[in-house]
Structure 1
């Protein structure tokens, strides 16, 4: 079996330059970002804002696709392209501007419209294989090109992000068939202290601590609460057939045992005993303690995490059916399809998850994380306790690594695994997730009406008397797309027939309301519909900057495999500072 060396830490110069982001997603997240290759189709202001927020933290490679001639646009249409010396092609001009922000990023562009060379799902599939993620800006979801890209990206498991700004309304749609999250960065995770099932070194430390024999009150008040609870639980189990507290009465009995451990010469306000009696810490000792969180259990019980039958450990990437000729990418061509790297990432994720499954079957618990919360303790006691937990975490991770090797050898897999990745996986095992969304193409034909209506009802968007909501603009955007498909332009773009556009839009909105079962509510969303016509698909730069920032944040989550991304649709009403998310 081949093993990769552990990821090299960032060089000192890069550490200084990217210090703040490294504090958020660490070396592993930065390495993942630098290995990513992004394609942005249509270099609008919103796309430029999103890309700017990815270029600054040093995404690996960027390819812009846009055939727009800037001489056909007003000079104020794009904040990044205000220089009179700019190239005529919009993709070329934006690449030049972005390259000046961070020369570490490999930038390139295709000076053609994407629909000129992506004319089928097959062509779209061959194209998206080159990239880690595809961003499409200012294009109706019903556009034929978006359908092609959606179906192809879903098949290739390449994330696709759709970004639109329509006047004061922002729209973001994330499509990710399967996204393996290595660290959800969940702040409310309970500490993993193993008090309910202490490992040998922890139990030995508790046994060696005789609270009554400690005469120094300062030393006594600095015994970590972990030791106090471990000793108390040992006494409770001895009196209750080795069982954990399982009822309110037993919980109360256990609390009394904790109180009884306080020696008579210990101050009544000793913080360590107060910590031991905190509800959040007592719950770590009860029978209801959740050894494996449901979100983690969902990963481990997934068929892909079965060490015997899973087919997800090998890189499975379908080759394009036909050879497609694309315009030359100017400046840079990535030699290896980026989608292959995504497939490798997911294969490693499921391989380690299967190894964790084997560990759980053997040990009856997840690997110890090895981190300690803040607690009242002297430095020596805290460091000693930290050492015990760290050694146990390292031992558990080595056992998981052993199972990884065993699966690879038994299945004859051609997959290299970084030892540091296994250790990181075990450290963050309580925060692993598998995230998936529906296809944009499927949404167009059969959208999740119930999910929308539930979200809209909670926001008050189904009340005809209510205004200032965001939810009405999702069905109105669908109506806008119907208008665009029928007329080849956006409503309100021709001021001569603006009143006629309003009447037509009310008709299209009525069609969408019929899909929602709201056709009888004729007064619903009339004001919002007329506002949408007034916007005339104008891209306002403050809205573009806000939505571009959100899009960049979601893309960063996906590329670094950290934090949980949007599921899956966001609508923002900037005029009223309201927003709504739901799974479309």
Structure 2
């Protein structure tokens, strides 16, 4: 859950500046972002648009690696370069203007080729939270991808040519605790209430409630009482089918007070109980995807090098097997509901206290593991956060970009399957890859000098790629003609859109909140169509 916004008028200037994003990823997410360090390779129009959208929300530091000199083409497409920047280092000039957007961000410029850094100082990239690259050669892409995969640093490869754009996220292993699912299920435990909740729910007798309390008790109580009444004549089972849930609704209707004419009196808490029947009566269980995480080899066979995520999973597993009796820790949150303040606060405290008890047990287990392995400390706040979101943990195990360039059987069959469909976006992926191959062979973009004569050369590159994946040539050359017409130029509106998308994904990775794209995103600015592929 996102943290509430800071309360006025006590909020600091910093909180005022970041108020909207704090609602998305909370104070702890902002702290993670401020501790992040992003590396951008090549300050192209796309590169600086990405950097802009990372600097504005307050990333801790950015480093631009770029040995290129500012050209007229750069000034024409890049809003973060001035006419006075011509013939100066592109990275340094772009950094100077981007950092003006948020002086709190630290900025560094490195005027060396990426290949040279990989050769002379490969440890250079270890300090970064994410490495983002634009406008690289095929050889450099593969070398950089392979190195970042080995040192487990997330990598985002971006392309922007004419109306086409793409990015590819390379993540070796990325654990997300706060995945923020669209439809989060409430953890009410009405089928297996813990002791304090059991005592609270059974302290009410709906039939004998006075008029004052009748319309102010939480709908959770009403629903629980209806289920208990239903279970008496149904072998103590839990209602599962639609028919059985309709019977629960009928019982709730029987609980309603009647007016002098014998008609039910409208009370919001009873209407809420009726609406919640289908969503709140889901039995408490251990989700299969969470069970797979808890019993994976990474969570069982811990070492000193194990990440905090796997240590937390191991501790959580022992909790589920013992104190949890097959269930995850209580989440400790309640949905909004119509109820008196006293009733709601009392119920809220019951759930919060049980959540605190459960997370404390898990924390002790974590401390035992940390002590045994002699690894880094894991704070109590981290454990609480982990327990609160244990129902929605998510793990991405990605693939290396190098595998794409080598066209192994899995990648080839995947691409071929999509190319069989008419007007599919995979065609644009092939074109962007072919343009990279063309640049490697001819040291320029297709169409940059001679658009007409480059068409046949680019077609040859496309044919090579299609041959490698055992696909037939394109029936038409329209897309190839268009790519040559672009001449390798960046259209700022396309780069701006794609830059915002890439920055969003980078922030997800740094904050470890929300699920990033897995793993390739294609954008066609002419049709405004998008597509995602997982190689």
| TM-score in same-fold range (> 0.5) | yes
Alignment of 1:68-107 (within 5 A): 68-70=68-70, 75-84=75-84, 88-107=88-107
Change in 2 beyond 3 A, CA 1:451/1:237: farther
Post-superposition, which runs of at least 4 consecutive aligned residues in structure 1 deviate over 6 A? none
Equivalent pair of 2:192/2:284 in contact (CA under 8 Å) = no
Q: Distance in 1 between matches of 2:11 and 2:305?
A: 31
Pair 1:426–1:518, CA change in 2 (3 A):
same
CA contact (8 A) 1:206 1:227 kept: yes
Tell whether the 8 Å contact from 1:165 to 1:171 is kept in structure 2 after alignment: yes
8 Å contact 1:236–1:254 — kept in the other structure?
yes
Q: What is the deviation of 1:86?
A: 7.2
- How far off its partner does 1:221 sit? 2.5
The answer for the alignment partner of 2:21 in structure 1 is 21
Give the corresponding residue for 1:510. 463
In the other structure, the counterpart of 1:446 is 407
Structure 1 residues 358 and 238: alpha-carbon distance in aligned structure 2, compared to 1, 3 A threshold: farther
User: Paired residue for 1:135?
Assistant: 132
Match of 2:335 in 1: 373
Q: 1:544 to 1:248 in 2, by over 3 A?
A: closer
Which residue of the partner structure matches residue 320 of structure 1?
A: none
Of 172, 194, 199, the match for 2:189: 194
1:236 Cα deviation (Å)? 3.9
| Residue 536 (structure 1) shift | 1.5
* Aligned-partner SS, 2:76: coil
Partner Cα separation in structure 2 for residue 263 and residue 417 of structure 1: 53
**1:165-185: CA deviation from partner (whole Å, max 9, x where unpaired):** 011101111001111112011
* Alignment partners' CA distance in 2, 1:257 and 1:71: 76
For structure 1, the 5+ residue unaligned runs are: 1-8, 317-346
* SS, match of residue 156 in structure 2: strand
In 1, distance between residues paired with 2:99 and 2:394?
35
| Counterpart pick for 1:555 among 506, 509, 512 | 506
Which aligned pairs between 1:68-467 and structure 2 lie closer than 5 A?
Answer: 68-70=68-70, 75-84=75-84, 88-119=88-119, 125-140=122-137, 143-216=138-211, 219-247=213-241, 250-262=244-256, 267-278=264-275, 281-286=277-282, 289=283, 291-306=285-300, 309-311=301-303, 314-315=304-305, 347-362=307-322, 363=324, 364-409=326-371, 411-446=372-407, 448-452=411-415, 462-463=421-422, 466=423
Alignment-derived partner of residue 492 in structure 1: 447
Contact kept in structure 2, 1:455 and 1:580, CA below 8 Å: no
How far is the alpha carbon of 1:248 from its aligned partner?
Answer: 5.1
Query: Contact between 2:416 and 2:471, CA under 8 Å: does it hold in 1?
Result: no
Residue 545 in 1 paired to residue 490 in 2?
A: no
Give the count of matched residue pairs: 520
Alpha-carbon distance change, 131 to 441 in structure 1, aligned in 2, over 3 angstroms: same
Gaps of 5+ in 2: 1-6
Query: CA deviation digits over 1:392-437, x for unaligned, max 9?
Result: 111111111121122223x242321111111111122223211122
**Conserved in 2, the CA contact under 8 Å of 1:451 and 1:582?**
no
2:38–2:131 CA contact under 8 A, matched in 1: yes
Compute the TM-score of the two structures, normalised by the length of structure 2: 0.90
TM-fit CA distance, 1:70: 1.9
Q: Distance in 2 between matches of 1:60 and 1:239?
A: 62
Q: Could you give the per-residue CA deviations for residues 195-229 of structure 1, whole angstroms, max 9, x where no partner exists? A: 1111112211111111111130x531232121122
Q: Distance in 2 between matches of 1:582 and 1:187?
A: 21
Determine the structure 2 residue equivalent to 1:527: 478
* Equivalent-residue separation in structure 2 for 1:100 and 1:282 (angstroms): 52
- Whether the 8 Å CA contact 2:170–2:398 is kept in 1: the answer is yes
- Map of 1:472 onto structure 2: 427
Q: Residue 83 of structure 1: CA displacement?
A: 4.7
Distance 2:465 2:139 in 1: 20
Deviation, structure 1 residue 45: 1.2
Q: Secondary structure at the match of 1:580?
A: strand
* Contact kept in structure 2, 1:182 and 1:562, CA below 8 Å: yes
Structure 2 distance, partners of 1:417, 1:74, is: 46
Give yes or no for contact 2:191–2:284 (8 Å, CA) kept in 1: no
Contact 1:276 1:282 in 2 (8 A): no
What is the match of residue 580 of structure 1? 531
Contact 1:118 1:145 in 2 (8 A): no
Q: 1:64 touches 1:110 (CA, 8 Å); kept in 2?
A: yes
